Structure 1
Amino acid sequence: MMKTLPLGNLRAFEAAARTGSFRSAGEELGISPSAVSHAIRKLEDLIGVALFEREGRTVRLNPGGEALYRRVSSAFDEVRHGLEMVGARSGNVLRLHCAPSMAAQWLMPRLRRLIAEQPGLTVRLSASTDYPRFHTDEFDADICYGPPHQEGLSVLPLGEETVRPLCSPELAASIRAPDDLLDQDLIESEHKRVRWNAWFLANGLSPPSPRGSRFDRSFMAIAAAVDGLGVTLESTRLAERELADGRLVAPLAGIARDVSYVGHFLVFPPKAKPRRAVRMFSDWLAQELGLEPPKP
């Protein structure tokens, strides 16, 4: 019978079993792959059972390893949850990843209100184009652009966004009908799911040849339109500040046919759902967007 629970060895085993690689487990734990292998060998010697099948540099769990992993994985999840329950600060830290334009244009202007309305909440925000892989436990939740790439996640669609041509007030004076855009410089946001070709077709027009600046992020396309570089086709959600203060206008609102789509999604792994910070944020987000609150 073991006198001391080998937590370090079990942590190495859990990371290797979850990632399927001693190297990946070592990167996550900040140790070398050989140190991971040594820790697992020591655990195997301690319990008298092999846990992995090893073929060269390839490792995979054997039936005994799979059985232990199910228990160990569940136990570590319970420990994390317990620490959050007893530690007010850790329970109120939200580690959030967000698509860059949604972060810059919509979320950042609301952070002050979010923190004011959710006392004690601390937000750690990261914005990049990479989709986070939650198995590293680096993030609690992600606001992603486009449907999530991973399976097995809790998903909250963040409602429809309206896409319209937007430009500076000075430029809007020459735009009275959809076909007036055929003679304008059209700012293209390259990674948008709704682009100019789709808008022209929705309004019964043949798309013109590309002419105008191109950007790979919506926040840059919006800034370019504010500076008078042309007309951008953007979500009114992302451009709400510029529309509210008059730096941008929608010259064809009520005249042309808008395009609507669900662009952003809040996603998080099921194990994060009980976390207080995730519940607080998802409820607040639904309220801000006028959506049904997530089911408990």
Structure 2
Amino acid sequence: MSVTQLNIKESKQVSPKAQVVAFSPAKPTRPIGSMVVEKARRLNATILPPLLTLALLVLAWEILCSSPTSSLPSPSRVLSESWELIIHPFHVGQGVDQGMFWHIAASLQRVALGYALAAIAGIALGVLVGQSQWAMRGLDPIFQILRTVPPLAWLPLSLAAFRDGNPSAIFVIFITAIWPVIINTAVGIRNIPQDYQNVAKVLRLNGFEYFAKIMLPAAAPYIFTGLRIGIGLSWLAIVAAEMLIGGVGIGFFIWDAWNSSLISDIIVALVYVGVVGFLLDRLIAFVGRLVTRGTANA
């Protein structure tokens, strides 16, 4: 048999599927330019609408408050009157004469401590209420009554108990943020599918394993919903509480600026308060997406 005949015979023995795979063209790759353009479009769709809305609001504010008789300053006047405050956020002075960074940092320290305590206690109590019918019947009415008390109504009581402004403000943060964490955690625990519980019984998981592997992952989206609500309420409460307790903090800065008739400084402080509150919410949402693998939507 000649070499040519051998080659023909071997080529006939190759399966049609292998021939298709061997001669199938490579999948076309997307050009880098198109990917960059698509990302730029997504970025524009996310950033441009709020920027345009903000520009329109600032323009309307400038037009409405440009009159010399206006009781509120225009944006251009705010920039001119509070320029030193804006460009020197790290200023260190005597007493409460500090830059905006230090006021916000002091408020964030109080929020971090009070919010952490509320998260730990709220998740623990939420698990208890969600797991036990007796606990739900005994504690839920009390929680529903206490959560309707305004945050600042707790401040005189906390001042009488702690006799110091700083722990009193932390307690106000704690008592404000704990209720949404408890309620959402309890709802998440009660909504765990029965199939998950059946799997835990089949695998004979002990109490700790069931808590760590079944209960927390299943209830995590609800828990982070409560945590996001709690961080927003915490930031609202600390600003109000600091207006009364004094000292370094963004709330007291706003109250001190009001007493000094520095309306432009108040507006600058409010911008800082809004931006920090937005970043705190985004931070908890980001952590929630990481922990729940995207099931806790932003």
**1 or 2, which has the higher strand percentage?**
1
Band the TM-score falls in, shorter-chain normalisation: under 0.3
What TM-score does the superposition give when structure 2 sets the normalisation length? 0.23
What TM-score does the superposition give when structure 1 sets the normalisation length? 0.23
